[in-house]
């Protein structure tokens, strides 16, 4: 059973010194990395998920980590984020300045679909380019949802895309599904690019859901 961030503080952080809190932070980050690796395993979807699920545990670990950083500051400690964390933080800061999202998914035989989301100061514009063989699914519902710019940006924020690797690959599969994601910004932040071949970030299904895509990869 998971505990609240304050419960975590009371049980694991209260009364601890800087070194002990840093150790707790290190353990949380290691657990988060292990949870992501588990969910990114090619056979993860075929396993029986025991509650609380890995995704739930990861969500709580993020809350615990935030509380641990606060506890560290309270005792005069200084948390130094890793390079990956710095990159993720810069991405998160620039989310309001996202100007375009381009997502491509498919395979050589079935064709590829490209979904393009363009954002201006107030609105979101949505377009689908698809091959002859790959028809976009539930398009009316997608178009209705994509009219909400703030909802879309909140969805991007919840995915923690800034933590994703540059490329995901499953070397055991030669053909199959390939995908690419590019995000452009209007504030000078360099475009974010990632992609993969038959391998995906731990929360790839949530990205597809945000884009209204069902039944492909992940």
Nearest to residue 163, comparing CAs of 103, 64, 85? 85
Residue 129 backbone dihedrals phi, psi, to 5 degrees? -110, 125
Among residues of the chain, what percentage have pLDDT more than 90? Answer: 72
* pLDDT tens figures, 181-197: 999 999 999 999 999 99
Strand partners, 105: 113, 179
- Asked if pLDDT for residue 132 goes beyond 60, the answer is no
- Asked if pLDDT for residue 145 goes beyond 60, the answer is no
Which tops the pLDDT comparison, 107 or 56? 56
Which residue pairs from 13-16 have beta carbons closer than 8 angstroms and sit at least 24 positions apart in sequence?
A: 13/67, 13/68, 13/71, 14/71, 16/71, 16/75
Give the residue-averaged pLDDT of 16-36.
Answer: 98
Q: Where are the alpha helices (DSSP H) in the chain?
A: 5-8, 18-39, 54-74, 83-93, 139-145, 149-159, 204-210
pTM listed for this prediction: 0.88
Among residues of the chain, what percentage have pLDDT more than 70? Answer: 90
* pLDDT tens figures, 103-125: 999 987 778 889 999 999 988 98
Report pLDDT for 148.
83
Report pLDDT for 136.
55
Q: What is the residue-averaged pLDDT of the chain?
A: 90
């Amino acid at each position: 059973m998971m505990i609240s961030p304050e419960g975590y503080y009371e049980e694991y952080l209260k009364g601890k010194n800087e070194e002990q809190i840093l150790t707790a932070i290190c353990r949380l980050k290691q657990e988060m990395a292990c949870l992501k690796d588990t969910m990114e395993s090619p056979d993860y979807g075929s396993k029986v998920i025991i509650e609380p699920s890995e995704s739930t545990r990861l969500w709580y670990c993020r809350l615990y980590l935030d509380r641990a950083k606060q506890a560290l500051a309270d005792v005069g400690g200084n948390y130094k984020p890793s390079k990956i964390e710095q990159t993720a933080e810069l991405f998160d800061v620039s989310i309001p300045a996202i100007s375009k999202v381009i997502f491509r998914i498919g395979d050589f035989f079935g064709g590829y679909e490209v979904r393009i989301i363009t954002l201006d100061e107030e609105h979101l514009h949505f377009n689908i380019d698809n091959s002859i063989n790959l028809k976009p699914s539930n398009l009316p519902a997608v178009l209705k949802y994509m009219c909400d710019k703030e909802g879309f940006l909140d969805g991007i924020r919840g995915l923690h895309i800034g933590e994703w690797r540059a490329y995901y690959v499953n070397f055991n599969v030669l053909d199959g599904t390939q995908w690419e994601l590019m995000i452009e910004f209007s504030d000078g932040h360099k475009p974010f690019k990632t992609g993969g071949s038959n391998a995906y970030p731990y929360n790839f299904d949530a990205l597809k859901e945000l884009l209204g895509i069902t039944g492909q990869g992940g």
